[in-house]
Structure 1
Amino acid sequence: MDPATVLIVDDELRVLDALEAILAAEFRVVRAAGGEAALDILRAADVAVIVTDYRMPGMTGVELLRRSQEHAPDAVRIILTAYTDVDSLMEAINTARIYHFVPKPWEPNDLVLIVRRAAERYALGRENARLRDELEVAYNALRRDLAAVRARPLGFDTMIG
């Protein structure tokens, strides 16, 4: 199975480098230095997990995650933050479908585990959607078959087998 694609977004190059170094062993990592660049990537690539800084110039991480829902509705969203403003956190949870908040400074092993779980959640969601589609196709085929059987007139030979 191909590794999940993780989009990392931060305006600080050293943070992007650190995140990539931690995650690249297990995931396909793509980077963006800000919200607009991240949205461009989301328009072009299938991303399983988005990991973004909370405070960035131009577009906050919450705004990025809110807007990302249009281009990557199934992506699992993680936000890194050194801030614990309860109102901001509630807004993020309610409007941007945040999967997990990771406080700064983050522990590398903890971050990898959180991203791994997010990627698993993404894969399970995809598998669930695929199975629902298969079930719908099978259900519709059975309905058609049943309708065809019901539409056939019953003759004496059919009744006695």
Structure 2
Amino acid sequence: MAEKSKKITVLYVDDEENNLMSFKATFRLKYQVLTAISGAKALEIVRQTPVDIIITDQRMPEMTGVEFLEEIIKIDPEPMRILLTGYTDMAAVVDAVNKGKIFHYLNKPWSEEELDQTIQRAYELYAERKQILETYSKLEVSNEQLEFLLRQKLLS
């Protein structure tokens, strides 16, 4: 779970300003909400600000949600990714899973409760994965230290 002192940082990307305002109004008290009106603006945000969860609309001009998520992976593969769309486009869903490596797919209009639960589950997995990577990193350092000590013992 999230630490009490730190709000989960959620970036919501949609080309419809009303959706951005609605999302921010709904979730601003619970999460640190960042919004972007385009994939390009969202990429700028991710380059400058650590983000835990990214939620993006699929159908946007200039860059689809899947294309945006592919670019995000190149910049920072850590944030959990959620695709939102008002259209049932199976090709987009398949691309989102395969190329955008999404955590979850939701239909618009979104249900506040369902979206909130999805964000919570995504963050739990995000935090768990981070913990595992930190533990793995510590184990690698310990292993290197043990190998060094063993070499020293063998040489003496």
Q: TM-score range by the shorter chain?
A: over 0.9
Question: Which of 51, 54, 59 is equivalent to 1:55?
Answer: 59
Q: How much has 1:10 moved relative to structure 2?
A: 0.8
Q: For 1:83 and 1:19, how far apart are their aligned partners in 2? A: 19
Q: How much has 1:13 moved relative to structure 2?
A: 1.4
Secondary structure of 1:96's match?
Answer: coil
1:17 and 2:54 matched? no
Question: Equivalent residue for 2:96?
Answer: 92
Aligned residue identity for 1:145: L
Question: Which of 112, 125, 129 is equivalent to 1:121?
Answer: 125
Question: Equivalent residue for 2:105?
Answer: 101
Q: For 1:60 and 1:93, how far apart are their aligned partners in 2? A: 14
**Which structure has the bigger radius of gyration?**
1
Secondary structure of 2:87's match?
Answer: coil
Tell me the TM-score normalized by structure 2: 0.92
Secondary structure of 1:39's match?
Answer: helix
Question: Which of 84, 87, 94 is equivalent to 1:83?
Answer: 87
Secondary structure of 1:98's match?
Answer: coil
Query: Is the CA contact (8 Å cut-off) linking 2:54 and 2:82 kept in structure 1?
Result: yes
Tell me the TM-score normalized by structure 1: 0.89
Q: How much has 1:138 moved relative to structure 2?
A: 0.7
Q: 5+ residue gaps in structure 2?
A: none
Q: For 2:10 and 2:61, how far apart are their aligned partners in 1? A: 21
Deviation per residue, 1:2-31 (Å, 9 max, x gap): 122110111111111111122222221111
Count of residue pairs brought into register by the alignment: 152
Query: Is the CA contact (8 Å cut-off) linking 1:47 and 1:72 kept in structure 2?
Result: no
Secondary structure of 1:111's match?
Answer: helix
Q: For 1:128 and 1:3, how far apart are their aligned partners in 2? A: 21
Deviation per residue, 1:77-120 (Å, 9 max, x gap): 10111111212211221111011111112110110010111112
Question: Equivalent residue for 1:141?
Answer: 145
Q: 5+ residue gaps in structure 1?
A: 153-161
Question: Which of 40, 45, 48 is equivalent to 2:49?
Answer: 45
> Percent identity at matched positions?
36
